[in-house]
Chain A
Amino acid sequence: MAMKINTYTKSREWFDRATKVIPSGVYGHLGPAEGNFMPVTSFPLMGDHAQGSYFWDVDGNRFVDYMCAYGPNVLGYNDPDVDAAALEQMKKGNLMTSPSYKMVELAELMVDTIASADWAFFAKNGNDVTSGAVMAARAATHRKKIVFVNGFYHGVSPWTQKIDYPGILPEDVANNLYIDWNDFDQLEQVFAENEGEIAAFISTPYLHGNYFDNQLPADGYWQKVRELCTKNGTALIVDDVRAGFRLDIAGSDHFYGFEADMICFCKAIANGYNVSCLCGKDWLKSAVSSLSYTGSYWYSAVPFAAGIACINKLKALDAPALFKEKATKLTEGLKQAAADNGFHLVVSGEPALFYLRLADDDSLFIHQDWIQECVRRGVFFAGHHNHFMNASLSDEDIAFTLEVADDAFKAIRPKYK
């Protein structure tokens, strides 16, 4: 039987309403431009509800969701344990003049869980904690410069953006230095050329940029970086906002066998309740204390309670092992479906955050065509972003995904003979 092909009449109506009152309708990563909806007519634009591994759009189309709200959905949408903890805390009190003791409980849990953590500091978004980490590094070292890896994404504050982005001044990024991923010699050279000036080296645990295959660290890379940073009195910041809790409950630095000076978490802490966390070493605790850095909602207790429930459940499930097992099954099936239809699918990055690319042309047109055919059939893949596994994904979901993938390959095959 032919697969159902989605239509998006109500999505379009809502989107048109949105454009009248919201700049670009849906801005940022969930929007059609940044989300690479090609063509835009193949993608849902507005959601209605979600459960487990699925979300439904306003037209009633169901999607097996491999983006997981770009990461926060780590256990499954509406996880009963996390939601129960959140609801209980909501009844007791959320944002109060005195912070809830739940903050202390979550901080203790983070310090007990994250291998490199001596302390924990909470905020709301990933950008809050990457910015906090950079400020702390500068406060502690009294140095200006920060080293980045090309292809990075560390948030949206001016210091994280590039000189050619709208609204960014050359002064905003004047102290940014750039190296290529896995190029330790280049990093060493940059350190030598800027001796005594580098406050921090900031990087994701591996390179999960867009439009290219994700790249894992070379053997010994992180250990050499760690040594270089220590030798130079430079803070080593790991941005684990994306990969945190999916590779290793104890942190992705632990996964790759080194210890960061500061490590940033957000997406997977609380299964969709908004909280981010900066963890770090003792030598930076005083610097973080010195910062003028806070926010109206940074102390809300509901996300703290949700975070405690979420992390404990991730531990109980041994979620990283589960993600690896399911993602490997899924991606091996996808590669086979591609091969069965005469295509070549490259899967890169760690399985829990797998990145897909059809390697049959160097323009990505074929890849984009396949992605949109999958989305039209109810599997939400992203064109050019790593995906995210969640613990509720079932074998049936994987089987359905592989059916869709095969059907989508068959749909595009006649165009690319």
Chain B
Amino acid sequence: MTDSKTLAYINMYAVLGTLENLCELDEEARGLLKNKKMISIGLDVAGGPAATLYFKNGYCRMEDGCSPDCTIKMGFSSCEKFNGMIDGTVTPIPSKGLLHLGFLLKSFMPLTDLLAKYMRPEPEALEDEHFFEISTKLMFYTITVAIAQIANHDAIGRFSASHIVDGDIYMGIKGACAATVRAKNHHLVTIKKDCGNRRSMMEFCDIHLARDLFDGKVNAVACIGEGTISMGGMISMIDNVNRILDRVALYLA
């Protein structure tokens, strides 16, 4: 009960988009980009998403749309092909910027490998508190961005979004990280910070609880009773975001 177009949007903005946060949080990631001049990778998926990743001296940011000025361009004939690149079954060939193949091989691919290490960690790796923290924060950003993609593209997600009134939904892990899911006319956008003007909120009490939720070890309804998740404001917004969250697990499984 998933569709490849929605998955492509998730892969673009929620998975590759998390490279931004990886570079903020992980020293090794920053090291891969250290002293690099600005280089950009344009990703253009026919019938799906398009975005540009900019890398410069240890940092990464993603912008919507495939910039005509991108250094390297990778086009995909379908959402399935793009999803294949993400799961490693399709090898992309750049249509522009072949001279920068070295960046793709020596920087971009190690970065995505590093992201995969955090996103699909070995159980023993999580025993290291620092690794655990980065991994959980990256999952948080991936999930919160995926919420918006599912709300905008998945048929059932759109049904949930159709019941979300306008305003900002704060989602956060207490003392760790925050995001704002902004709803307008039932279209959702995730901003990876607390924008401060909440119409509703859902906060996990700590990073360990958040991890258990992401891993499906605990349930949000039970956590509300236990007081480890707090919520407030326009609860119908939270209610419908939770329904979308169910589908995030389906897509990211």
Could you list which residues of chain A lie within 8 angstroms of chain B, going by C-beta atoms?
15-16, 19, 23-27, 31-34, 36-41, 45, 162-166, 170, 210-211, 362-365, 368, 383-384
Contacts and interface: CB of A to CB of B under 8 A. Distances in A.
Nearest to B236: A211
Interface stretch (B5-13, B80-88, B135-143, B219-227): B219-227
Given A32-B225, A40-B227, A24 B219 contact: yes
B interface: dominant SS: helix
Contacts, number: 82
A33 B220 CA distance: 9
A15 B167 contact: no
B230 interface: yes
A9 to B, nearest CB: 14
Interface residues of B, number: 28
Given A164-B243, A210-B236, A363 B226 contact: no
Given A39-B230, A210-B236, A364-B233, A164 B222 contact: no
B147 to A, nearest CB: 13
Interface string B211-249: 000000001111011110011111110001001101100
Contacts of B247: 164
A interface: dominant SS: loop
Contacts of A19: 222, 225-226
Contacts of A41: 227
B200 interface: yes
B166 to A, nearest CB: 9
Most chain A CB within 10 A, of B224, B231, B246, is at: B224
B232 A365 contact: yes
B224 A32 contact: yes
A45 B233 CA distance: 21
User: Nearest 4 CB-CB pairs, A to B?
Assistant: A33-B224, A24-B222, A32-B225, A164-B243
Nearest to B244: A164
B198 interface: yes
B159 A33 contact: no
Contact of B234 (A162, A166, A363): A363
Contacts of B199: 362-363
